[in-house]
Amino acid sequence: MKKIVDQITEILGTAFVECGYDSKYGKTGISNRPDLCQYQCNGAMAASKAYKKAPFLIGDEIVEKIKDNAIFKTIECVKPGFINIVIEEEFLGDYIRGIATEDKFGYETSATEDVIMVDYGGANVAKPLHIGHLRSAVIGESVKRICKYTGYKTIGDVHLGDWGLQMGQIIEELKLRKPKLPYFDENFQGEYPEEAPFTIEELEEIYPCASGKSKTDPIFKEAAQLATLALQNGNKGYMAILNHIQKVSVSDLKKNYENLNVYFDLWKGESDAQPYISNMVEKMIKDGIAYESQGAIVVDIQEPEDTKELPPCLIRKSDGAANYATSDLATLVEREKLYSPKLYVYLADKRQNLHYTQFFRVAKKANIVRPEAELKFIGFGTMNGKDGKPFKTREGGVLRLEYLIKDIQNAVYEKIMENRTVEEVEARETAKIVGLAALKYGDLSNQAAKDYIFDMDRFIAFEGETGPYILYTIVRIKSILKKYKSEGGKIEDCRIQNPVKASEISLYLELSRFSEVIQNAFDEIAPHKICKYIYELSNAFNRFYHETKILVEVDQDKKESYLALINLTKNVLETGIDLLGIEAPERM
């Protein structure tokens, strides 16, 4: 269904053309002065310069041309040259009746076969998720869902950190602890055991221990580097260990991500790119793109139009091992081969900006991706404590993600128990859902690129722009609908009438914005736009709710219209939170 703003833009665009101006001046948007009008067009002012004519003269001409159109209740040109528009209730009513029955509330999908690859999560094997992984998972999941909703085939890849020095460190430490394992016996011929020689708990202890040693003990560090290289050269025993590490870690990570409502389509890792590396690097050298510098292989990425200096990208270390950029590039080789995405979205800490700039440029320069493929980096800021510094535990350590989630769920539980008399089991269940929503909404409602302050009390508040407030609104609607159904009513039979009261019109207008918001959130890859929208929609509903008695309304048509309206509101809100990766409980 064509969006209301687009319909108006088209009418105005035609009028501009008929009056001898360019159609682009017809561009109309939501008014930022709701007290004056619902929609506004600023084209007359822009046109005034191009056509050397006073803006209000142009505006008047346009208004004169279309003022009799049935969709406008009022249309006028004011002060410098704004064209202010209020639409007819009937037109609005028609539109809302339309979106209530259409798939995706009338959102016109791009409906292509194109693929969007979302690279997020970024967990490392052998290492539990900590708060540093929160934003990538939460924002990435939402971005993936938004892309999918707009009609693209979307693939989410966790892209595990399972390669590089960290693996060498673990192998070396394991060798010191259990030297008799067959993996370390070069003459071992048989099959390696199926069972991993460690549990996830041991692994999570081995890794920081090894990584610490590597910093203080140069002998250990060298051994770890050798092990890394051996692994990268395909040492059989080491590969088998890597396999164990992956298996043990992935099943644990899956569980943890599931608790966050985050699901990946692919569980690939850096190690999967390994087979592509040598050919890729050789080709780049042969093509004259990559060259040797200080023993390493690098690629220049400076371009003539650059005003600033960009350091070259290192794609092979002097000891011959692969590094970060190498595996990212080689991963692209595989992704191009298997999926040829139209768009790649990478989510990572914004501090990695330079790395992504370098790696994208190399990918383009070496033709690793097709020229038309687009590579986008969404860098996000850090989650800080109330002191404005990166969030730490009381002891100054890095907080495990599961503990953070538990903390917030417990806090919500306390709050539910002090307010209501709900069964403990139900309160626990509700607190789980609401707590997660509070955390995710608190994160997603900020622009990704900015740092934000984690304030538990604010996030779990039921007032203000918070997850719980949105969920509360949904629950409230559900409870009215449930009551209606229990009295024998059928929501499916209810038909939406044209809006009458101001609060009703506002609610209709909010609902009509849905498609626009989705498009905007997708274009800018900005989940916070959806947060803002569902918050405003909730507000519009609550205002309407406050002054409208729904179930006791005596006029049957009106009552049914209200019910259909709030049902639609609920559906839109539920779609909205789903795009954020949030769920709503039945009761709160």
Partner RNA sequence: GUUUCUAUAGUUAAAUGGAUAUAACGGUCCCCUCCUAAGGGACAAUUGGGGGUUCGAUUCCCUCUAGAAACACCA
Could you give the residue ranges of the DSSP H alpha helices within 268-352? Answer: 274-286, 324-338
Taking the C-alpha atoms of residue 50 and residue 504, their distance in angstroms, rounded to an integer, is 41
User: Is residue 296 near RNA by the rule CB under 7 A?
Assistant: yes
Taking the C-alpha atoms of residue 477 and residue 434, their distance in angstroms, rounded to an integer, is 17
User: Is residue 324 near RNA by the rule CB under 7 A?
Assistant: yes
Which CB sits closer to RNA, 182 or 320?
320
User: Is residue 323 near RNA by the rule CB under 7 A?
Assistant: yes
Residue of 54, 250, 453, 456 interacting with RNA (CB under 7 A): 453
Number of residues that bind RNA (CB under 7 A): 97
Cβ–Cβ under 8 Å, residues 580 and 440: yes
Which CB sits closer to RNA, 96 or 530?
530
CA distances for 32 relative to 37, 41, 389, 436, 449, angstroms: 9, 11, 36, 33, 25
Which CB sits closer to RNA, 181 or 572?
572
Cβ–Cβ under 8 Å, residues 585 and 470: no
Window 253-292: contact mask with RNA (x via CB under 7 A): -----------------x----------------------
Q: Which two tokens stand for residue 549?
A: 């008695």
User: Is residue 31 near RNA by the rule CB under 7 A?
Assistant: yes
Single out the residue of 154, 159, 155, 107 nearest to residue 136, CA to CA: 159
Smallest separation, CB 415 to RNA (Å) = 7
User: Is residue 491 near RNA by the rule CB under 7 A?
Assistant: no
Which CB sits closer to RNA, 338 or 551?
551
User: Is residue 551 near RNA by the rule CB under 7 A?
Assistant: yes
User: Is residue 420 near RNA by the rule CB under 7 A?
Assistant: yes
Query: Which residue in the block uniquely carries the two structure tokens 């626990």?
Result: 428
Task: For residue 437, give the H/E element and its range.
Answer: helix 424-444
Query: What amino acid is encoded at 48 in this protein?
Result: S
Taking the C-alpha atoms of residue 382 and residue 349, their distance in angstroms, rounded to an integer, is 7
User: Is residue 342 near RNA by the rule CB under 7 A?
Assistant: no
Cβ–Cβ under 8 Å, residues 76 and 84: yes
Smallest separation, CB 385 to RNA (Å) = 11
Stretch that binds RNA, among 98-106, 150-158, 189-197, 460-468 (CB under 7 A): 460-468
Stretch that binds RNA, among 10-18, 174-182, 295-303, 392-400 (CB under 7 A): 295-303
User: Is residue 163 near RNA by the rule CB under 7 A?
Assistant: yes
Diameter of the chain measured on Cα atoms: 92
Which CB sits closer to RNA, 180 or 308?
308
Residue of 376, 400, 458, 558 interacting with RNA (CB under 7 A): 458
Taking the C-alpha atoms of residue 518 and residue 103, their distance in angstroms, rounded to an integer, is 14
Which CB sits closer to RNA, 163 or 360?
163
Which residues, numbered 355-374, are part of the site for RNA (CB under 7 A)? 355
User: Is residue 52 near RNA by the rule CB under 7 A?
Assistant: no
User: Is residue 542 near RNA by the rule CB under 7 A?
Assistant: yes
Query: What amino acid is encoded at 388 in this protein?
Result: G
User: Exposure string (b/e) for 433-455, b if CB count within 10 Å is 16 or more?
Assistant: bbbbbbbbbbbbbbebeeebebe
Smallest separation, CB 273 to RNA (Å) = 11
Which CB sits closer to RNA, 104 or 458?
458
Q: Is 347 exposed, middle or buried (0-12, 13-18, 19+ CB in 10 A)?
A: buried
Q: Nearest 5°: phi and psi at 378? A: -105, 100
Which CB sits closer to RNA, 35 or 492?
35
Which residues, numbered 514-533, are part of the site for RNA (CB under 7 A)? 526, 528-529, 532
Q: Which two tokens stand for residue 350?
A: 């914004």
User: Is residue 120 near RNA by the rule CB under 7 A?
Assistant: no
Which CB sits closer to RNA, 115 or 378?
378
Taking the C-alpha atoms of residue 120 and residue 135, their distance in angstroms, rounded to an integer, is 9
Window 569-588: contact mask with RNA (x via CB under 7 A): ------------------xx
Residue of 376, 543, 558, 574 interacting with RNA (CB under 7 A): 543
User: Is residue 150 near RNA by the rule CB under 7 A?
Assistant: no
Query: Which residue in the block uniquely carries the two structure tokens 């971005």?
Result: 143
